[in-house]
Structure 1
Amino acid sequence: MSTRGILNAAAGRGKFSLSRYEPSPPLQPFVEHYWIVRYDLNAETPFTQTVLSYPNVHLAFEHDHEGRRAFLYGIPRRPFVRELSGAGRVFGVRFRAGGFYPFWQRNVSLLTGTTVAASELFGRDADEWTSVILDAGDDAEMARQAELALSTRLPRRDPQAELAGRIVQETMNDRSIMKVEQLSELTGLSIRQMQRLFRKYVGVTPKWVIKRFRLQEAAEHLEQDESAQWAELATQFGYFDQAHFIKDFKSVLGQTPAAYKSRISAE
């Protein structure tokens, strides 16, 4: 199971469990996967996990010492930080890039950087779903109950939303893509058309997506390769020079690659 985007994932493995389940065929155009995080830190100090998020909207059903709740999480503009304390669990639905729009039917960028109650979209059903999913027992049954719930709201597929999703997937897979102009050439869309498409269906700009995927890879590489050299990493991830790479890394993660490497080595 990939942990890309979960910063210092090795430290997190000792603090929480993570499992994932695939959606059924009818929901696959909209949902990438379901995920479940469980943790029990009652005998330990709180643990802070930082995630360099993908360009995906999430629907999360949460249960901890503060109670139960269901939220829609738009794409965070900055790294997502969550402190885990006590015992708890979260069941999440990760929508595909573009896959949330058919449910939402509004500009997805309106959610970017925000968290709203799930009831804003799903009404009273959100409260019922929270109980049914969190009371389901094991992880597989939670995923099954989520499938049943979302199937009652199954929207029509949207060709433009799926086009946006394919472009995001191509950007993730092809690390040579470093500029919006390259996506424009690949898709035949103008830069302005691309920006409008992403704003409406994904929630962030093409430039944001490109930078995020490259920096996710870089952070993962720094964690796994003790001999990583900045100049080599910069070239590997499509940067023309080391200074540009360091500047982008610091602008998103708040520290230089060297400082990040030192911190995770010490933990």
Structure 2
Amino acid sequence: MPGSRGPRRDTRGIVDAPELFTHVRFRRREPAPALRPYLEHYWLIDWDLREPYASHLVPHPSVNLVFERYAGCGDEDAGFAEVSGIGLELFTQKLEGRGRVCGVQFRPGGFRPFAPDRPVSDWTGRRVPAAEVFTPPAPPSAVLDPGQEDARVAALDAYLLALGPEPDPQAERAMALVDLVRTDRTVRRVGELARSEGLSARSLQRLFATYVGVGPKWVILRYRIHEALERAESDPAVDWAGLAADLGYSDQAHLVRDFTATVGVPPTVLGAR
């Protein structure tokens, strides 16, 4: 099974990350060793705002388990836990007052060993109470109450370890394929990816639907848009025609259309900030 690389340090997927970090305290933490094959990382956010702020995220092809407590969440005292399937559109969250979120980002393909009874595509585009997915239910107070960050991480470890994920060779295969898409720019076509694995395109689609939650074409596109977003925000002089070619687009206009449809604004708007 693929090993841990430690929490990512990039900000891919976060729209205007510097602005977000002026409003919230954001950290990534590594899970217990036995959980690292299945999880990307934990992500912890706390805020105390005088004025409301809206955060925006281009979601990763990952399922998240999220423990939340904030004004307007429905149960501010106890908090709540939900499973957030892969988001297909730009995710916007309005933050105000004081709040705390402790999240678990599963590796693409790494969620199903914790919930093996249903294909991961059943959760795509949905946010459902964690009690509908896991037995025993996730305890929000155990995760959200501790003042010390290490104690919150320990509570996440304890809960997920108690769920007892079962090793699954097909989950390992799906995770490895998504890692390949994420790290290798030359992976541009579903047919090429399927042939490299000795699979038919249909078999690859079934594998992704069952273990990742979206199709391989969607994953390829999403990671390319993440890279384009990072470039747009870090380099106002980016060569969009050259980047489009690097990412496997037929032309710059196609990249700009996909970017604008996903992020909500053209890349030139972000680069001008």
Q: TM-score, normalised by structure 1?
A: 0.93
| Aligned-pair CA distance for 1:245 | 1.1
Distance 1:175 1:227 in 2: 21
1:63 pairs with one of 69, 73, 76: 69
Q: Report what 1:112 is aligned to.
A: 124
1:26-41, aligned counterparts within 5 Å? Answer: 26-41=34-49
| Residue identity matched to 1:140 | D
Q: How well do the aligned residues superpose, as a CA RMSD in angstroms?
A: 1.3
Deviations, residues 2-39 of structure 1 (Å, cap 9, x unaligned): 11111111111101111111122211222221110111
Q: Distance in 1 between matches of 2:137 and 2:209?
A: 28
Contact 1:29/1:157 (8 A) holds in 2: no
- 1:21–1:140 CA contact under 8 A, matched in 2: no
Alpha-carbon deviation of 1:240? 2.2
2:183 aligned to which of 137, 149, 173? 173
Q: CA deviation at 1:123?
A: 4.3
Give the AA of the match of 2:115.
W
Quote the residue 1:201 is aligned against: 211
In structure 2, what is the Cα distance between the partners aligned to 1:15 and 1:125? 31
Question: Displacement of 1:176 after TM fit?
Answer: 2.1
Unaligned runs of 5+ in 2: 1-8
Q: Note if contact 2:130-2:137 (Cα within 8 Å) is conserved in structure 1.
A: no
Q: Partner letter of residue 202 of structure 1?
A: V
Moved over 6 A (4+): none
* Contact 2:43 2:105 (8 Å CA) reproduced: yes
1:1-267 matches, within 5 Å, as 1-41=9-49, 43=50, 45-66=51-72, 67=76, 68-105=79-116, 106-123=118-135, 125-126=137-138, 129-262=139-272, 265=273
Q: How many residues align?
A: 259
Write the letter of the residue equivalent to 1:104. A
Once residues 162 and 222 of structure 1 are traced to their aligned partners in structure 2, the CA distance between those partners, rounded to angstroms, is 33
Q: Could you tell me how far 1:247 is from its partner in structure 2?
A: 1.9
In 2, Cα distance between the equivalents of 1:162 and 1:32? 14
Q: What secondary structure, in the 3-state scheme, does the structure 2 residue paired with 1:125 have? A: coil
Q: Distance in 2 between matches of 1:124 and 1:156?
A: 16
For normalisation by structure 2, the TM-score amounts to 0.91
Separation in structure 2 between the aligned mates of residue 86 and residue 124 of structure 1, nearest angstrom: 31
Give percent identity, aligned residues only.
Answer: 41
Amino acid at match of 2:62: N
Partner AA of 2:258 in structure 1: D
Q: Distance in 2 between matches of 1:254 and 1:104?
A: 33
- Describe the superposition over 1:166-204 as per-residue Cα deviations: whole angstroms up to 9, x where unpaired: 100110001222211221132121111110000000000
Q: Which moved more, 1:250-259 or 1:234-243?
A: 250-259
Query: Which residue of structure 1 lines up, in the alignment, with residue 5 of structure 2?
Result: none
CA distance in 1, matches of 2:261, 2:150: 39
The 1-side partners of 2:84 and 2:140 are apart by 15
Partner SS, residue 29 of structure 1: coil
Secondary structure of 1:14's counterpart equals helix
Q: Is the 8 A contact 1:222 1:228 kept in 2?
A: yes
CA contact (8 A) 1:177 1:183 kept: yes
Q: 1:152: how far off? A: 1.1
Q: How far apart are the structure 2 equivalents of 1:85 and 1:190?
A: 49
Question: Which region of structure 1 is more displaced relative to structure 2, 102-111 or 244-253?
Answer: 244-253
Letter in 2 for 1:115: R
CA distance in 1, matches of 2:137, 2:68: 16
Supply the AA of the counterpart residue of 2:219.
Answer: V
SS in 1 for 2:207: helix
Q: Which residue of the partner structure matches residue 4 of structure 2?
A: none
